[in-house]
Amino acid sequence: MLFKKFKIRNYEIGLLFRDGNFAGLLQPGTHRMFDPWGKVRVTVTSQRDPWLEHEQLDVMVKSGALKDRAVVVDLKQHQRAMVWIDGRFNRVLGPGLYALWASFRDVQIETYDAREVRFTHKDLKAISREPTARLQLDICDVDRECAGVLYLDGRYVETLAPGTYAFWRGPADARIVQVDLRETMIDISGQDIMTSDKVTLRMNAVATYKIADAKQAVTVAGDAQQALYREVQFALRSVVGARELDDFLTDKDSVAEELEKAVRPRASELGLNLIRVGIRDVILPGEMKDLMNKVTEAKKAAEANLISRREETAAMRSQANTAKMLADSPTLMRLRELEVLEKIAASGKLNIVLGEKGLADRVVNLL
């Protein structure tokens, strides 16, 4: 009972404590220790698990017992470290004291100054997939066809291209605002607008734009798309309200051009490239629609009547010209008579009744 026996395998190591104080390391093998008062304690730990975690780790490090057997990492408040074990990423370390056994595993430590807030690494994709990495890193993705506006502590830093980015937590507040650089279409629908001649129209317009300056689009307005929507809405009311109904309906293209001209300067201030503004639908009130249909019907009827009169006039003019030509040319008149007789003869049986003396001779001569 006066001796204690401790057996340590070849992949293990013993942490020796006497009266609660760290006293050294025990190498693999069998150890017998004299301990009549029960003050000797040995904690056996496997070196295949590289992480050495103990409440007296600082005492062990200061004693020098871990020298040449473990990798010791002591990180200050502004420091961070990447741990690679056997060539594979393991975790990110924050401020604190750490020790890793290095006898059975290849342990590599990369130390960084977190005051350089942006973290770059050739294996950032692999690091970002490790859940523990997100405890120390803010990892953000900027999608394809997008741009990321980077702010550090509320100050604009730069505009980022598509990709994955990481920033150390703590030293600064990093924030990325992602904006879509593709063409975007917004509908300005259900607008009730009164023309200058007091006719209320319901209109639907559409605006197409792209973001030209990502920083400007984020900083000038809280919501650039909503600001553009309001601008088109106000311009539409201004342009249409200054025109009479007939003028508007007969020249909607010029209204669209004027609308685009009015909106484009404000869109540029918002960091947007305005591609097109157009009027999609115009809905007339029910009674106005009936009235317009009647007007259109009357116009079409008048046009049809005018065309009919023109054709009649042309036919009469042609007949008058023909009569004049026949009167001026007896030969042409004789040919015309022969054509008529020929048509009559071809149509069926021809019966000639002669009632006047001398008429027979004229007919015979004509035939």
Lowest mean pLDDT among 62-66, 136-140, 207-211, 311-315: 311-315
CATH number of the domain that residue 220 is part of: 3.30.479.30
Task: Quote the pLDDT of residue 363.
Answer: 54
Q: Is residue 24, in this structure, part of any structural domain at all?
A: no
Do 196 and 172 fall within a single domain? no
Whether the pLDDT of residue 310 is over 60: the answer is yes
From 228, 256, 283, the end of a domain falls on: 283
Q: Is residue 254, in this structure, part of any structural domain at all?
A: yes
Task: Quote the pLDDT of residue 121.
Answer: 92
Task: Quote the pLDDT of residue 366.
Answer: 53
Task: Quote the pLDDT of residue 198.
Answer: 78
Going by C-alpha positions, the residue among 109, 8, 135, 130 that lies closest to residue 51 is: 109
Helix (H/G/I), strand (E/B), else coil: 1 = coil
Both structure tokens of 228: 């553009």
Task: Quote the pLDDT of residue 348.
Answer: 60
pTM for this model (two decimals) = 0.66
Q: How many independent structural domains does the chain possess?
A: 3
Do 125 and 150 fall within a single domain? yes
Confidence of residue 328 (pLDDT cuts 50, 70, 90): confident
Q: Is residue 275, in this structure, part of any structural domain at all?
A: yes
From 148, 163, 180, the end of a domain falls on: 180
Cα 364 to Cα 367: distance, rounded to the nearest angstrom: 5
Cα 237 to Cα 250: distance, rounded to the nearest angstrom: 18
| Average pLDDT in the chain | 85
Long-range contacts of 235-238 (CB under 8 A, 24+ apart): 235/259, 235/262, 235/263, 236/188, 236/191, 236/193, 236/203, 236/205, 236/279, 237/191, 237/193, 238/262
Q: Is residue 339, in this structure, part of any structural domain at all?
A: yes
Q: Please, are residues 82 and 130 in contact by the beta-carbon 8 Å criterion?
A: no
Task: Quote the pLDDT of residue 248.
Answer: 79
Percent of the chain with pLDDT over 90: 50
Confidence of residue 207 (pLDDT cuts 50, 70, 90): very high
Q: Is residue 17, in this structure, part of any structural domain at all?
A: no
From 247, 264, 283, the end of a domain falls on: 283
Do 128 and 149 fall within a single domain? yes
Cα 23 to Cα 40: distance, rounded to the nearest angstrom: 10
Whether the pLDDT of residue 37 is over 70: the answer is yes
Do 189 and 277 fall within a single domain? yes
Q: What is the DSSP string of 33-98?
A: EE-TTS-EEEEEEETTS-B---TTHHHHHHHTTTTTTEEEEEE-TTEEEEEEETTEEEEEE-SEEE
Do 220 and 237 fall within a single domain? yes
Do 203 and 243 fall within a single domain? yes
Task: Quote the pLDDT of residue 292.
Answer: 58
Angle between helices 330-347 and 359-366 (to 10 degrees): 90
Task: Quote the pLDDT of residue 351.
Answer: 62
Confidence of residue 194 (pLDDT cuts 50, 70, 90): confident
Confidence of residue 45 (pLDDT cuts 50, 70, 90): very high
Confidence of residue 358 (pLDDT cuts 50, 70, 90): low
The mean per-residue pLDDT over the stretch 315-323 comes to: 77
Confidence of residue 3 (pLDDT cuts 50, 70, 90): confident
The mean per-residue pLDDT over the stretch 138-167 comes to: 93
Q: Is residue 198, in this structure, part of any structural domain at all?
A: yes
Cα 206 to Cα 194: distance, rounded to the nearest angstrom: 19
If you search the block for the tokens 């003050």, which residue do you land on? 39
Do 276 and 212 fall within a single domain? yes
Q: Is residue 237, in this structure, part of any structural domain at all?
A: yes
Do 243 and 257 fall within a single domain? yes
Do 208 and 232 fall within a single domain? yes
Confidence of residue 90 (pLDDT cuts 50, 70, 90): very high
The mean per-residue pLDDT over the stretch 123-134 comes to: 89
Q: Is residue 73, in this structure, part of any structural domain at all?
A: no
Confidence of residue 314 (pLDDT cuts 50, 70, 90): confident
Do 244 and 156 fall within a single domain? no
pLDDT tens-place string over residues 277-302: 888 888 776 565 555 555 556 666 67
Q: Does 305 or 153 have the greater pLDDT score?
A: 153
Task: Quote the pLDDT of residue 251.
Answer: 80
The parent domain of residue 124 ranges over 114-180
Do 125 and 155 fall within a single domain? yes
Do 121 and 207 fall within a single domain? no
The mean per-residue pLDDT over the stretch 219-245 comes to: 89
Cα 103 to Cα 97: distance, rounded to the nearest angstrom: 19
pLDDT tens-place string over residues 63-86: 999 988 999 999 999 999 999 999
